[in-house]
Chains A and B, each alone.
Chain A
Amino acid sequence: MTTIHSPLRFITCGSVDDGKSTLIGRLLHESKSIFDDQLAALESDSRQHGTQGEDIDFALLVDGLQAEREQGITIDVAYRFFATEKRRFIVADTPGHEQYTRNMATGASTADLAIILVDARKGILTQTCRHSRIVSMMGIRHIVLAINKMDLVSFSESLFENIAADFKKFASKLGFLTIQAIPLSALDGDNVVVSGHRSPWYHGSTLLTYLEDIDISETETTGSFRMPVQSVNRPNSDFRGFCGRIAQGYIQPGDSIRILPSGQTSRIKQIVVWQGELEYAESGDSVTLTFADEVDVSRGDMIVSSAQPAQVADQFEARLLWMSSHPLMPGRTYLLKLHSKEVIATVTSIKYLEDVNSGAHLAAKSLNLNEIGVVNISLRQQIAFEPYSVNRVLGGFILIDRLTFDTVGAGMIDFALRRATNIHWQALEINRDLRARLNNQTPRCIWFTGLSGSGKSTIANLLDKRLHADGRHTYILDGDNVRHGLNRDLGFTEADRVENIRRVAEVAKLMVDAGLIVMVSFISPYASERRMARELFVEGEFIEVFVDTPLEECERRDAKGLYAKARRGELKNFTGIDSSYEPPEKPEVHLRSEIDSPETCMERILAAVSFSC
């Protein structure tokens, strides 16, 4: 077998009814990639689950999971492999319904080409536009427009030409380099592998020939050298190598390189692989590099060409596809993974949501499952990157939920925000320690969390009075009070609650910096926001006090009459009634106000926390 071209990875887009699985099944069958025993199993499956009567139902070959076969739909991404004399192929088969946008994006993320299926009887539909937008967004530049079911429209040339023209017009702004329309009957096989005698007017390649011949030039080798560091290899004190896969450009021993984000420079000493030392390595190669100088490099850093380094920033504008049923909350912290680097990240604002069907820009406060938005993202640390349009590996990232560890978002960096490079932290000469010493105390943030009516404010007030009497400098940030001023623009939706806590945590941090003991008395129902608050402070400075009072007890007290209102349905999103409270797992102080008096509770805090200098 001789391989002329590099392997081709492609994705097929279309809904169940468009004959997508049938098309893949036929490609596999006609390229002789289905073994006899698989064909025998397929024949028996076709009789049991098939939709083609006595004929083989090729769709069953591709819809692998039992649940899918029972429901007759594709619910995940399946990867299929086949090869011809000329080329090796990997097909990502993904479902086409709107609720599976994330699956399509997953399949598209590694594909070089997309086959977009259209039913000749229906022409360009909303879903065709959606599929095209998704593959365009994911960076696919080559399209085959497979106009299928031509047998049902008598192989009408004019119909085919009209659909192809409609598509080209629609797709003109989507950045595709090539668009090839092919008239097909996946069911009968016309123009899939052999030219169909029923479409004599079509003089182009068959689908398989087109896929075999298309040139997907690697653009990655042309850019400047970039290699994210996966790990440091130190078998003994004499060898220190940096392992990674080259994401762009090429490298030779002696080349000047720079480490990002630190900016240190050195030269390449060796390119080490199992076979020995290489004189040259390029994009796509996994290698181990050694340097001429001792430089500090660790996992997540990027080794780049010294003359043309990559950009470094901590704030970006990015496109974000949300993949979780739990919506994206601006202000909440997530883990962001970009090449080998993992950092804490926050979506600071949603600029707009893009309607995948129409392309319209809509205002949004959060992103739901399968929604795509353009957002600003802020990171805790600077990272090296390239825009996604320049390099998929260096500009694509995922977001991971910090509690469930689910992969919840897929993002593509558009560009760094200028303010990230222009705003520097002002180093103050009178620092936190000096202020604390003058106040003769250890500044702390005492964070009270618990249901409405649990006794947070009562206990915080008692503590405040006692500390004040002891000569401490204190302040209370109370939920209700802050909502009268700083947070008067915020409501009680999950998105607003997240922002509410973010602002209060930042204010508390400034006050602790100023040397104060700050008591924060907020319901703060979500664990992730309390963690975000905790991470603003140095170790030991943040004291989480869980005022653990059963809902029934809080409701019995109902000092402000809020529970009664919520029960009557007059108050929406009330914590404990129709909005959840996530209790802390390891609070520094755990109080039970239905057992202990407020005074005893306060004494417990004083026993657990020292405020002296």
Chain B
Amino acid sequence: MSFNKLESESIEIIREAVAEAVNPVMLYSIGKDSSVMLHLARKAFYPATPPFPLLHVDTTWKFRDMYIHREKVVAESGMTLITYTNTDGQTAGVTPFTHGSSYYTDVMKTEALKQALDLHSFDVVFGGARRDEEKSRAKERIFSFRSGGHRWDPKMQRPELWNLYNTRIRSGESLRVFPLSNWTEHDIWEYIHKERIPIVPLYLAKERPVVLRGGIWIMVDDERLPLEPGETPQMRVVRFRTLGCYPLTGAIESSAATLEDIIAETFKARVSERQGRLIDSDQPGSMEKKKQEGYF
């Protein structure tokens, strides 16, 4: 499959956003979509280094492999990495176990992101969201306007015609820019394969310690995961279709240990990749609500 068109469109979007931005930043979540987005950014500005930093909003609950991967990739890219943790939430002891996934996500991800953006006064923020992921994302613009307070109003979106993006904002307002809007999960994997983009090993199947909770395999990544009565970690061959905070991210039983296996599996998949994400389904229309409040 030829990626010229998809890739060129994404590069055009990234260049356009940077040309008009005062202080741009790229959200880097260490996952497969972030990896592709970063790769495209480096292509867009080659031979220069992309003229913006990476921002990782760190909940401190990511998989250990993700932190190792992050350091490697950042060093290789030559870009600056900013990490940000909502220390108020941390001090208050907000964890995925104590406060429920919805409140935890709000404090440690959405709030944290807003605090980080305000702290650095970023006006253009790249995110790796795709329109095929979720229903409300299917309606979001490529250049998505946020009012002061980072709010998204789905009914007040600027019309987006052709490849013309309205980048005009006032101080305090910002733009979220999604260069991967028109990519599908399948495109992402094929592109990673074709371009040999490094990814976190958790995407590939391997024997890992897991417990079954509410029908979902949760990996026991470190000693912080409180085991419920009767729960004993067992070794299973699993992998992850998406990566987030390990206590909230379900693994799938799969023996796909290579990229070729993953591509074959993805094309035959009967469940969506976000099915393993607990935060999407914790309340009706939950992604739309989280997005309005500033979640990516």
Partners in one complex: yes
Binding site for B on A (CB under 8 A): 1-3, 6-7, 35-38, 64-67, 75-81, 83, 88, 90, 102-103, 105-106, 109-110, 230-231, 233-235, 239, 241, 243-245, 272-274, 284-286, 288, 299, 323, 335, 337-340, 392-393, 396-398, 400, 405-407, 410
- B224 within 8 A of partner (CB): no
Contact B270 A36 (CB under 8 A): yes
Q: Which of A37, A274, A397 contacts B272 (CB 8 A)?
A: A37
With A81-B132, A410-B161: A38-B272 Cβ-Cβ less than 8 Å? yes
Residues from chain A with a CB closer than 8 A to the CB of B18 are 231
Contact A245 B8 (CB under 8 A): yes
Shortest Cβ gap from B151 to chain A (Å): 15
Shortest Cβ gap from B174 to chain A (Å): 13
Residues from chain A with a CB closer than 8 A to the CB of B2 are 3
Give the docked Cα–Cα distance between A481 and B70 (Å): 71
- B19 within 8 A of partner (CB): yes
Shortest Cβ gap from B165 to chain A (Å): 8
Q: Which of A64, A77, A274, A340 contacts B46 (CB 8 A)?
A: A274
Contact A76 B19 (CB under 8 A): no
Shortest Cβ gap from A64 to chain B (Å): 3
Shortest Cβ gap from A560 to chain B (Å): 39
Give the docked Cα–Cα distance between A398 and B4 (Å): 26
Residues from chain A with a CB closer than 8 A to the CB of B285 are 66
Give the docked Cα–Cα distance between A400 and B89 (Å): 41
- B221 within 8 A of partner (CB): no
With A1-B267, A75-B155, A286-B8: A65-B46 Cβ-Cβ less than 8 Å? no
Q: Can you list 14 contacts pairing A with B, beta carbon distance less than 8 Å?
A: A1-B267, A64-B139, A75-B155, A76-B157, A88-B1, A110-B163, A235-B48, A286-B44, A335-B168, A338-B164, A405-B169, A407-B158, A407-B159, A410-B161
* Count of chain A to chain B residue pairs whose CB atoms are closer than 8 Å in the complex: 151
Contact A410 B154 (CB under 8 A): no
Mostly helix, strand, loop or mixed at chain B's interface? loop
Residues from chain B with a CB closer than 8 A to the CB of A103 are 159
Residues from chain A with a CB closer than 8 A to the CB of B208 are none
Considering only CB atoms, which chain A residue lies closest to B285 in the complex?
A66
Q: Which of A36, A81, A338 contacts B271 (CB 8 A)?
A: A36
Shortest Cβ gap from B114 to chain A (Å): 22
Residues from chain A with a CB closer than 8 A to the CB of B150 are none
Contact B1 A1 (CB under 8 A): yes
Contact A65 B269 (CB under 8 A): no
Contact A273 B161 (CB under 8 A): no
Considering only CB atoms, which chain B residue lies closest to A288 in the complex?
B46
With A67-B155, A274-B42: A109-B4 Cβ-Cβ less than 8 Å? no
- B115 within 8 A of partner (CB): no
Considering only CB atoms, which chain B residue lies closest to A405 in the complex?
B168
Closest 4 CB pairs of A and B: A64-B135, A235-B48, A405-B168, A286-B11
Give the docked Cα–Cα distance between A54 and B44 (Å): 51
Residues from chain B with a CB closer than 8 A to the CB of A393 are 162-163
Give the docked Cα–Cα distance between A497 and B103 (Å): 53
Give the docked Cα–Cα distance between A77 and B269 (Å): 27
Known: A105-B159, A230-B16. 14 other contacts (CB 8 A): A7-B5, A65-B288, A76-B157, A79-B139, A79-B182, A105-B161, A109-B162, A244-B12, A245-B8, A286-B15, A323-B159, A340-B16, A393-B162, A405-B168
Q: Please provide the chain B residues from 53 to 97 with a CB less than 8 Å away from any CB of chain A in the complex.
A: none
Considering only CB atoms, which chain A residue lies closest to B190 in the complex?
A1
Q: Which of B8, B48, B154 contacts A65 (CB 8 A)?
A: B154
Q: Which of B4, B136, B158, B160 contacts A284 (CB 8 A)?
A: B4
- B184 within 8 A of partner (CB): yes
Residues from chain B with a CB closer than 8 A to the CB of A6 are 5
Shortest Cβ gap from B146 to chain A (Å): 13
Give the docked Cα–Cα distance between A233 and B275 (Å): 42
Give the docked Cα–Cα distance between A407 and B159 (Å): 6
Give the docked Cα–Cα distance between A234 and B48 (Å): 7
Contact B5 A284 (CB under 8 A): yes
Contact A239 B19 (CB under 8 A): no
Contact A35 B269 (CB under 8 A): yes
Give the docked Cα–Cα distance between A75 and B153 (Å): 13
Shortest Cβ gap from A433 to chain B (Å): 36
Residues from chain A with a CB closer than 8 A to the CB of B163 are 110, 245, 393
- B170 within 8 A of partner (CB): yes
Contact B15 A337 (CB under 8 A): no
